[in-house]
Structures are given as C-alpha cells and as structure tokens.
C-alpha cells in the first residue's frame, strides 16, 4: 500500500511538472517519457512486480544452440539479402502506430542494447541457454507510439513452414516487458540463419514457439481475428496455447 501511494504521488508530481512546460521542441519528448512512465505505473499498480525470467551465468551457456522449425529460409529475397550481409534488411513497425518505422540493421544496432542469458524451452522437449543482444521491443514501440486502440503486437516473419507463413503475437504487457528484445546477436556474434538471422524476437517468459525468427514486420493491432487462422500464431492456429507462459 505504501508503495502504491508513493507511485501515485510520484506520477501526480511528474505530470504536474509536465503541464508547466510550454509548447517547445522538448515538449514531445517529455510527453513521450510521461506516457511510457505512466504505462509502467499502470503495470505496477495492476500487476504488482514485473515477473522476470531467470537469467544465467556465462558459464552456463549451451555450447551449441540448435535450430528448430525453419532453419533455412527458402525465398529469393531472403537469400539475396543474406548474401549482402542483410545490408538492405528493413524491420518495419506499423499498424496502429503514430509514426511507422522502417529500421535498417545499422539503426537497430545504434539503439540502446540489452544483453541477457536465458533458457529457451521448446515444447518438443529440449532446452538451450543462450546470450541474446538487441534493443528492447519497448524502445521500438516508444518510437512508433502505438495508439490507444492497439492491444496486441503481431510479428511477421520471412519464412514459411509447411507452406504457411510463420507469425506470432503478444499482448502489450509482454511487448513492453524489459526482457522482450529484438535480438541480432547470439553469444556475441550475428545470429546464425538457423536461429533467425538477422533478427528474432526473445520473449523470455514464454515457450519457444513464441520467439519469432526472421522478423520482417512488427504490427500493432486491435484484434488477432483477421490474421491467418485467427488464433494469433502459426502454432496457435494448429492448436497450441496463445499464452505460452513458462
Ligand atoms: N519464423 C519462425 N520462427 C520460429 C520458428 C519457425 O519455424 N519460424 N520455430 C519456433 C520454435 S517451435 C522454436 S522452439 C524456436 C526455435 O528457435 P531456434 O531455431 O533458435 O532454436 O523458434 C520459434 N520461432
Ligand atoms: Mo519449439
């Protein structure tokens, strides 16, 4: 209860501070901060402490991080991009956002980075520990600024599996979770193709199939109904749980 009062008082003071600022160039940036701070506050009040997935020591990293599902992408566009070191790869962020983005690999690498050593658990009965590096998804979303109607994030991928496009989705809590990152490094090196080069999602509180590889586009949406089978993911459309919490 004490903590709640503190947070509410803090938010009130912070927002009051904002109202004193005029319509300067700094205004938009300050409002951005207030919005994300407010979102964090909401989470703190609604759900208590943010649950973090366990992180591991360097000595625990698996010597080989196997690939699963698609391990080679069978498309001319992907093969051409891979041949050029993904120099022309763009990660699009669009849908219900104020400012759509198309980020190059250099732009992704120039953002603040998070590195985490986590365990990947696949429902097929294997696990591996790896060190992943990349910007937090929250950083990308704070640049693109989802509008209020956005309730989910859909992840589009470059590959098809058994002829159907792979895709995934999550809610805003997982999208803004500190350990949800768009990874471009595995164990300090560029992602191998089998592990999702050049970009793959790490969404550490959920099972392996949620970690979309070969990311091409991140879309803010109001509903998952209109996508493919309507269950929010490739494996979900084939009967798996949408919320695959560990
Ligand atoms: N685009 C894409 N993402 C995917 C898959 C896939 O086939 N295609 N397989 C999923 C499954 S079931 C698992 S367990 C992990 C495997 O990640 P890895 O290949 O790096 O081990 O990726 C997930 N993300
Ligand atoms: Mo999996």
Counting from 1 in the atom list of ligand 1, the atom nearest the Cα of 214 is 1
Residue 18, pLDDT > 50, answer no
Domain count of the fold of the chain? 2
Residue 39 has pLDDT above 70, yes or no: no
Beta strands 91-95; 101-103: pairing state: antiparallel
Does residue 144 register a pLDDT over 60?
yes
Q: Is residue 245 part of a domain?
A: no
The yes-or-no verdict on residue 198 having pLDDT over 70 is yes
Judged against a pLDDT cut of 90, whether residue 161 lies above it is answered with: yes
Q: What is the CATH number of the domain that holds 149?
A: 3.90.420.10
pLDDT band at 12 (very low <50, low <70, confident <90, very high): very low
Q: Return d(Cα 119, Cα 117) in angstroms, integer.
A: 7
Q: Is residue 60 part of a domain?
A: yes
Looking at every residue in the chain, the average pLDDT score rounds to 87
Q: Do residues 144 and 217 both lie within one domain?
A: yes
CA of 125 to the centre of ligand 2 (A): 8
Question: Which segment of 32-41, 84-93, 237-246 scores lowest on mean pLDDT?
Answer: 32-41
Question: Are 139 and 111 within 8 A, CB to CB?
Answer: yes
34 and 64, same domain (yes or no): no
The reply to whether 199 and 230 lie within a common domain is: yes
With the most atoms of ligand 1 within 8 angstroms of its CB, the residue from 122, 213, 233 to mutate is 213
217 within domain boundaries:
yes
For residue 9, being part of any structural domain is answered with yes
CA of 68 to the centre of ligand 2 (A): 6
| Ligand 1 atom 21 nearest Cα | 67
Shortest-distance Cα residue to atom 18 of ligand 1: 67
Q: Average pLDDT of 17-28?
A: 40
CB-ligand 1 contact for 215 (6 Å cutoff): no
HEC states along 123-188? CCCEEEEEEEEECEHHHHHHHHCECCCCCEEEEEEEEEECCEEEEEEEEHHHHCCCCEEEECEECC
Q: 214 CA to middle of ligand 1, Å?
A: 9
Do 41 and 60 fall within a single domain? no
pTM attached to this predicted model: 0.84
The tokens for 1 are 């209860």
Question: Which atom in ligand 1 lies closest to the alpha carbon of residue 196?
Answer: 20
**Residue 244 maps to a domain:** no
Q: Are residues 61 and 47 in the same domain?
A: no
- What pLDDT score does 46 carry? 53
Query: 15 and 75 share a domain?
Result: no
Mean pLDDT (whole number) for 16-35: 42
Strand runs (DSSP E) across the chain, as ranges? 91-95, 101-103, 114-122, 126-134, 152-161, 164-171, 180-183, 185-186, 189-190, 200-203, 215-221
User: Does ligand 1 have an atom closer than 6 angstroms to the CB of 216?
Assistant: no
Q: Is the pLDDT of residue 128 over 50?
A: yes
Report the share of the chain in percent with pLDDT over 70. Answer: 80
- CB of 233 shorter than 6 A to ligand 1: no
Q: Do 66 and 130 fall into the same domain?
A: yes
The verdict on 25 and 137 lying in the same domain is no
Same domain as 158, residue 83: yes
Is 220 within the bounds of a domain? yes
pLDDT reported for residue 50? 78
> What pLDDT does 15 receive?
38
Other C-beta atoms within 10 Å of 239: how many?
8
Question: Which ligand minimizes its atom distance to the CA of 70?
Answer: 1
Q: Are residues 233 and 153 in the same domain?
A: yes
Q: What percent of the chain has pLDDT over 90?
A: 78
> Do the domain assignments include residue 243?
no
Residues 42 and 76 in one domain: no
Q: Alpha-carbon distance 241 to 237, whole Å?
A: 9
Calculate how far, in angstroms, residue 208's C-alpha sits from the geometric centre of ligand 1.
7
- What does the pLDDT average to over 11-29? 40
pLDDT, tens digit, 9 for 90 and up, residues 62-109: 999 999 999 999 999 999 999 999 999 999 999 999 999 999 999 999
* 97 domain residue, yes or no: yes
Say whether both 145 and 228 belong to one domain: yes
Give the domain extent around 19: 1-51
Distance 194 CA to ligand 2 centre (A): 13
């Amino acid at each position: 209860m004490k903590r709640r009062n503190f947070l509410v008082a803090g938010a009130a003071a912070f927002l009051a501070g904002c109202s004193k600022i005029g319509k300067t160039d700094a205004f938009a940036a300050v409002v951005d901060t207030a919005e994300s701070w407010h979102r964090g506050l909401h989470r703190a009040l609604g759900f208590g402490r943010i649950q973090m997935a366990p992180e591991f020591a360097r000595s625990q990293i698996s010597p080989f991080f196997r690939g699963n599902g698609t391990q080679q992408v069978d498309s001319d566009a992907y093969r051409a991009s891979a041949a050029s070191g993904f120099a022309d790869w763009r990660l699009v962020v669009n849908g219900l956002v104020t400012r759509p983005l198309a980020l190059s690999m250099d732009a992704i690498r120039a953002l603040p980075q998070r590195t985490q050593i986590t365990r990947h658990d696949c429902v097929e009965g294997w696990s591996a520990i790896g060190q992943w590096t990349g910007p937090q998804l929250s950083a990308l979303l704070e640049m693109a600024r989802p509008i209020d109607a956005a309730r989910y994030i859909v992840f589009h991928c470059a590959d098809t599996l058994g002829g159907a496009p792979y895709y995934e989705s999550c809610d805003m809590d997982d999208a803004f979770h500190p350990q949800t990152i768009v990874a471009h490094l595995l164990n300090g090196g560029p992602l191998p193709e089998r592990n999702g080069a050049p970009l793959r999602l790490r969404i550490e509180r959920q099972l392996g199939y949620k970690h979309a590889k070969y990311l091409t586009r991140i879309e803010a949406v109001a509903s998952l109904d209109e996508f493919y089978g309507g269950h929010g993911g490739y494996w979900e459309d084939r009967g798996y749980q949408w919320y695959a919490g560990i």
